[in-house]
Chain A
Amino acid sequence: AQSVSQHNHHVILSEAASLELGCNYSYGGTVNLFWYVQYPGQHLQLLLKYFSGDPLVKGIKGFEAEFIKSKFSFNLRKPSVQWSDTAEYFCAVKPLLGTASKLTFGTGTRLQVTL
């Protein structure tokens, strides 16, 4: 069964600082990869996704993520965070093949951006 590890549980940054959140997964086959964000009081929203092709994917609000297959990683980055990026960020994986359709999520990283 697949699993997802997010090593940073709580990150505090000042506005304009650069962000990188780690995500590693364990699964032997081909996967689709996702980052979801949950702003305070709101539902989970898709931030970006990787299906195939260019391993550097760009999402909404200036976020990007890089898929490194050899490292089973899909780290999220943003060059300059804003106070409005304060939220919880979840990495998720879905196997491409077979009947499994579920997403497997990491435990999440709580990002707090200070002014």
Chain B
Amino acid sequence: DTGVSQDPRHKITKRGQNVTFRCDPISEHNRLYWYRQTLGQGPEFLTYFQNEAQLEKSRLLSDRFSAERPKGSFSTLEIQRTEQGDSAMYLCASSYSAGQDIAKNIQYFGAGTRLSVL
């Protein structure tokens, strides 16, 4: 399977604990995105990387959230001091950006990590 891979698929934690999720993009993709999806809503953008550079962050990404993509390959999303409002599906997507070749700039999504904060 060469799709976007996310781990774990489901995480249950207690309020106040820290959690970390991992995303492995499609191997040749240079862009990686994080989204959050709550029940009854569409995915909402959190942040994205081009290679190892974090180029955009949403206002949804409070200072308890941090994302990294240290070598331009996999990425981690950490949530510190989790709150019940953080319960959601966290989705990762990747795409290949090649200048004006927009036909390739399609985002492919992973299965997501479902976070439940008790």
Contact = CB atoms under 8 A, between A and B. Distances in A.
Given A43-B109, A49-B106, A99 B42 contact: no
A108 B106 contact: no
B42 A106 contact: yes
A43 B112 CA distance: 7
A46 B55 CA distance: 24
Nearest to A92: B42
Interface residues on A, range: 20 to 34
A61 interface: no
Contact of B102 (A43, A46, A51): A51
B107 A96 contact: no
A107 interface: yes
Contacts of B31: 101
Contacts of B42: 4, 90, 92, 105-108
Interface residues on B, range: 20 to 34
A104 B58 CA distance: 12
A71 to B, nearest CB: 21
B14 to A, nearest CB: 27
Interface string B82-118: 0000000001010001000011011111111000000
Nearest to A6: B42
A100 interface: yes
8 contacts: A43-B3, A43-B91, A44-B43, A45-B109, A51-B103, A92-B42, A99-B55, A105-B44
Interface of A: 4, 32, 34, 36, 42-46, 49, 51, 90, 92, 96, 99-108
